[in-house]
Each structure stands twice: as structure tokens, then as C-alpha cells.
Chain A
Amino acid sequence: SQTIHQWPATLVQPVGSPLSLECTVEGTSNPNLYWYRQAAGRGLQLLFYSVGIGQISSEVPQNLSASRPQDRQFILSSKKLLLSDSGFYLCAWSIRKSGANVLTFGAGSRLTVL
């Protein structure tokens, strides 16, 4: 069966510090991978998605970047965090199949920037 792992679960970082959130998927090959952010009381906002190694699409301009160094690994990064980067970050995957886009989410990473 497929599983998705996301870490760290919680993170408190000072403004200006770097960030690295990691996500890995097991039990499947060639998945679509996604990073979402969820602000308190708000819906999910798509940040990045990837359809293959090294292929990253960004949905909104921001202080963050993403990388996919391996087929089942997706990393969310920042060189210098801003206060506005605080939020709940969710990694997700879906089968690479046109029209399906059924997402399976990780447990999430709570980032607090102070």
C-alpha cells in the first residue's frame, strides 16, 4: 500500500532563518507531488506541484521554493523565512492519470516563524 511521510511535524524558526520540509512517498512510482499551505481557518492553497524529477511548477509567487531530487521525494525550502510564512504545510500525492487527481495527504507540518 502507498504511504506518505512528511517531516518535521512541527517547527519553530526565527525570521530570516532557512527552511526545509521533506516529503516522501512509498509504494508507488511516478506520482504527482504537491505542496499546499493552509492558513488558520482558511482553505488549502496550492504552492507547488511536480509531475516528475526536477519538474516543478509554482502556483503563486512567494518566498518559498520546491525541489524533487528523486521520484518520490519532494522538498519545500526557503533561504530566509518571513513572518508570513507561518502556517500548516501539507504534502500530497496523486496517481499520474489524466482527470483523476485524487489526492492523498501527509500529516502536515506546522511552521511558526517568530
Chain B
Amino acid sequence: KNQVEQSPQSLIILEGKNCTLQCNYTVSPFSNLRWYKQDTGRGPVSLTIMTFSENTKSNGRYTATLDADTKQSSLHITASQLSDSASYICVVSARYSSASKIIFGSGTRLSIRP
């Protein structure tokens, strides 16, 4: 069964600290993995996208890693800012897929405290 599981479900950290969000998936055959940031009441916005051959990708203070062997990904946020408070969603697509093969995780709710 195609699944994407994220942990933790929620996380609270102090401004300026680093954090790492986890994503485990069982989607097959794998095509790509994306991390989205979703501010409250807004649509998700893409942060990074990685294919099978990529194991790390950065976007400013966000760095995503992918281990296709263990089917795990992480999103590392460096020097967190108050504006990083949001839900972070891991999304995995299957190869040659129809729309129904895009699998969403339930997200990690990140709160940054001053």
C-alpha cells in the first residue's frame, strides 16, 4: 500500500534553533519526493523536489535529504525564524503515475516561539 508517514506530528522550537522533520514512504515505483510549506489558511508552496538520483537539495535555510534505499527523507531547517511556523508536507509521486498516485503525508505542524 502506498503510504507517506511524517514525524513528528507537531513540533515547537525556539527562534534561532535548528530542527529536522522526517518522512518515511512506501510508494512504489518511486518518481519524486517533494516538501511543501503550508501557512495556516493558505495553499501549500513547494520548497524542494528530489528525484531518485538526488540525495540532498537546499533552498535557503531549508535542506532536504533523500535516502531512496531506506525510503526516508528529512527536511532540516537552520536558524529558524518566526515565519517558519507552518505545516510541512511530504509528498511522494509514483513513476508514470496518474494523479491518484500522488501520495500526501499528514504533515508536521511546526511552531517557532520567540
A residues apposed to B, CB below 8 Å: 6, 32, 34, 41-44, 46, 49, 57, 59, 88, 90, 92, 94, 98-108, 110
Contacts and interface: CB of A to CB of B under 8 A. Distances in A.
B96 A99 contact: yes
Contacts of A32: 99
Nearest to A92: B43
Interface of B: 31-32, 34, 36, 41-46, 49, 89, 91, 93, 95-102, 104-107, 109
Contacts of B41: 88, 108, 110
Contact of A43 (B31, B49, B89, B95): B89
A103 B31 CA distance: 14
A-B pairs, 10 with minimum CB distance: A105-B43, A49-B99, A43-B106, A44-B104, A43-B104, A101-B93, A108-B43, A99-B31, A107-B43, A105-B44
A46 B43 contact: no
